[in-house]
Amino acid sequence: MSATSAGGQAGSVAPVIAPDKKLKLGAKGKEVSWLQRRLRELGYRPGKADGRYGGTTLAAVWAFQKVNGIRPTSTIGRATWSALETPKSPKVLVRNGKATRAEVNLTQQLMVLYVRGKVELITHVSSGSNIPYCETADWQGRPQRFCGSASTPTGDFRTTWRRDGWHRSYLGQLYNPIFFNGGIAFHGALSVPLYPASHGCVRMPMNVAGEVPGLVGTGVPVHVRGKFRR
């Protein structure tokens, strides 16, 4: 595979040439290291460039594939390698938004973080399932029943309070939560599937949740748009 440089003129950016080897989850080697480095420089978070294709890298692959119109899959084939040579930018949801903001695309299950006007981070997420729930949990010293719609409301919000590390809520454990709409937060989770699965929060891969708090302060705009179609 190859990509054409811009006009081929002196001083132009050299073309990016991706490997052309099909990779499956669990693969190891230099092609995986190349994939990890390339994803990172494009704003995704595949973890360390250790040459091991595991779950952390898979979540970044899913995010990249979704941005580039490729059906999310664990297999790295010709379409994904080609897109890594000439990648698309994520869809801007709020064109006149603040230079530093978070945009959550519920349709694609993606979050894009802009810092000072530039894309800083792109990640796969899992939002509210929209399946009504009623659960009983021990809370404030006694069993209590909690019911809700499991929705992630669309709208314009701002980041508020946060917690470091694991935070216990009445609906489960949240890692490094950053709240932006009442009890709804960005947070790390051990399970971030390809479909909406949360009670309403925006789940992120654990490595991403470890990085986001250092990039997002209090009062940062959060724009939630779209609707996931199963």
Q: Which two tokens stand for residue 117?
A: 């006007």
Active site residue 187: yes
DSSP 39: H
DSSP label of 110: E
> Which residues are bridge partners to 166 per DSSP?
175
10: exposed, middle or buried (Cβ count in 10 Å: 0-12, 13-18, 19+)? exposed
- DSSP state letter for 176: E
Would residue 201 show up in a list of annotated catalytic residues for this protein? yes
Q: Which of 124, 199, 201, 223 is catalytic?
A: 201
Nearest to 178 by CA among 140, 207, 152, 204: 204
Q: Residue 117: which H helix or E strand, with range?
A: none
Q: Tokens in use for 131? A: 């399946």
For residue 143, how many other CB atoms are within 10 A of its CB? Answer: 8
Write down the catalytic residue from 124, 134, 147, 187.
Answer: 187
In the numeric block, the tokens 């029943």 are attached to 145
**Token couple for 169:** 């809520």
Name the residues annotated as catalytic: 187, 201
